[in-house]
Chain A
């Protein structure tokens, strides 16, 4: 709960020094979140602040409700009780992107890759020319060679997931959610995609929430690692990893990385053993 305290203080201070305080204000505030599936209480009066412009990894024991958390924040699962606000606004008032683990089922196979990426802009009823222009600008910023006139099923798994990340980013979201986005990819592709995600984050500074089941990945990519307990989920720790970006494979062996990862692993194992 320690994460809540400073946030609340800065919120009360906000009207006095708006410009300076705006940066330290949390982007997402979650208060009193409760959720049960049948008999199982997954969340009970859960509070969390997600800092602005940071990449937050969510890590925890199997079935603790990592994905459930971002699904509730992104409105995919209804909450039983509680409030989730984005700068004081509700979900329907903001633009956000969501990347599913299962890219094969998340993309539309009847649309070419380029039309998949454009689809959310179509929902926003933007004119065709503007849709195309925004999509092309985004694709160019990725700097990868990709034939977007192909259908998703004609692409490799990594290319498909790249297309779904582009689809999530094309609306210029205020916040980006990724639910184990790389766990269906082979290792080589996973490494490539981590770099892509890091680069996107560096360029846009979009608040990002990443659910991961791989501790190395969770720490390597994150500014903050949210460690959850078994359900009902509590914040076991909200560790920081401050190493400057861009990070590279060399980071994986530096002392600070090893320390943070070991710390997270300790907490994880403590939470797994606790009944």
Chain B
């Protein structure tokens, strides 16, 4: 019995598919709106295997990674600077919190005016949302660096710069990864929404929207699952990187 425990997560997946099959078989929902799991996974497979879905999937990956990278490059140094000066952070805290609480989707029209209808707009709105999440977390990571650890470095004769590079940066890494994980999830949400509207030609958001317009429900579900797998995969990727490089996190 103990040996079967790692298989527990599969139970939920099988359960979901069984319920789905029963719903289709019993015609709980109009068959036009709910294709069978078989049909849906067939659409997913053929779409990802050289079909349009695969192309759109890669487009979304590209945009999400680009916006997260841009956000990280801006937000990590900024967060370190803000976090190492409590006064500076306190004076900007409200502005950061305010825009962090503002739905980034509300910024689309503004960014459309600024960057036009191309990729720049999608990527920059997503980056904007991710920057605020990452900045906030990095700054908190730096500010909450264990005081004893900073004192220990100081007492051993470390200069202020050494304390920053040898202790504060490393101390903030676990919280930075929390920010990166939240940031990439938010970027994906914004990118997918952006791909549904504002004159998009490709991307998972576009695929979901187009399949729905054409009433091709199997394709639509396939695209939704692809988006779900992408979100899950990105989160897992960051978790694995964190476990590899921030091995002391939570210990």
Contacts and interface: CB of A to CB of B under 8 A. Distances in A.
Contacts of A102: 148
B251 A109 contact: yes
Nearest to B249: A109
Interface in B151-175: 151-152, 154-158, 162, 166-167, 170
A102 B150 CA distance: 13
A106 B248 contact: no
Contacts of B243: none
A106 B170 contact: no
Nearest to B146: A105
Question: Interface of chain A, helix or strand or loop or mixed?
Answer: loop
B170 A110 contact: yes
Nearest to A116: B152
A123 B158 contact: yes
A119 B155 contact: no
A74 B162 CA distance: 19
B155 A75 contact: yes
Contacts of A124: 157
Question: Interface of chain B, helix or strand or loop or mixed?
Answer: helix
B162 A123 contact: yes
A129 interface: no
B243 to A, nearest CB: 14
A106 B148 contact: yes
A76 B149 CA distance: 12
B248 to A, nearest CB: 4
B149 A106 contact: yes
A30 B152 CA distance: 23
Contacts of B166: 108, 119
A106 B157 contact: no
Interface residues of A, number: 20
Contact of A151 (B157, B162, B247): B247
A116 to B, nearest CB: 10
Nearest to B149: A105
A46 interface: no
A76 B151 contact: yes
Contact of B248 (A109, A167, A171): A109
Contact of A98 (B147, B155, B251): B155
A100 B155 CA distance: 11
B161 to A, nearest CB: 12
Interface in B127-155: 146-149, 151-152, 154-155
Contacts of B155: 74-76, 98
A181 to B, nearest CB: 13
Contacts of A76: 151, 154-155
A120 B156 contact: yes
Contacts of A171: 156
Given A100-B148, A123-B162, A153-B248, A108 B156 contact: no
A124 B251 CA distance: 29
Interface of A: 74-76, 98, 100, 102, 105-110, 119-120, 123-124, 151, 153, 167, 171
9 contacts: A98-B155, A100-B148, A100-B151, A105-B146, A105-B148, A108-B166, A109-B248, A110-B246, A119-B166
